[in-house]
Chain A
């Protein structure tokens, strides 16, 4: 069964600090991994997408890494801002018969305090 596990479940940090969110997956065959940011009451918004051959991808203050051998990914947020408070969801897609099915993690709830 394809699964995506995220840790920590929730995280509280002070504004300006850095943090790292983790994603472990057992999805096969692997196609791609994406990180999404979901503000409360809104739909998820894509931050990064990585395929098998990519091991790092940056989007402003967000940097995602992928280790396909250990099936782990991380999302590093630098110099956090109050607006970073949101749920961060890791999504891993598997490929089967020409179609792709995404498996979502439960998300990490990040709260940034002033």
Chain B
């Protein structure tokens, strides 16, 4: 049973460019959330997708956008990249089985390491 898979594992971009990161959730999971983890810091919540809609959003600018597909996979898009966007981007999946939704354990992928030059 495959866990959460993310691609690409590493990528390098320059300032002003755009990037798309991809995530396939664990089999049986229907909710995907994205996190940004700067070096030496804890992950910061970007947003969460369920039923192909953004359900919750953290304190990130509109340059960060996402999408969830009918097969529950998800993309994270970042436009107009800044040097400060360099980080490990983590995707986590979980399953909604009724309240309390937040009690579901998040299964994380290995992350996509983005470097902005």
A positions within 8 Å CB-CB of B:
4, 31-32, 34, 36, 41-46, 49, 51, 89, 93, 95, 98-107
Using Cβ atoms and an 8 Å threshold, which residues of chain A touch B56?
99-101
Using Cβ atoms and an 8 Å threshold, which residues of chain B touch A95?
100, 102
28 contacts between A and B (CB under 8 A): A4-B42, A31-B100, A31-B102, A32-B102, A34-B106, A41-B110, A42-B110, A43-B4, A43-B90, A43-B108, A43-B110, A44-B43, A44-B106, A44-B108, A46-B107, A49-B103, A51-B100, A89-B42, A89-B43, A93-B102, A99-B56, A99-B101, A99-B102, A100-B101, A100-B102, A101-B58, A104-B45, A105-B42
Q: Is the CB of A32 within 8 A of B103?
A: yes
Residues of chain B at interface, number, CB under 8 A:
26
Given contacts A32-B100, A43-B4, A43-B110, contact A49 B105 (CB under 8 A): yes
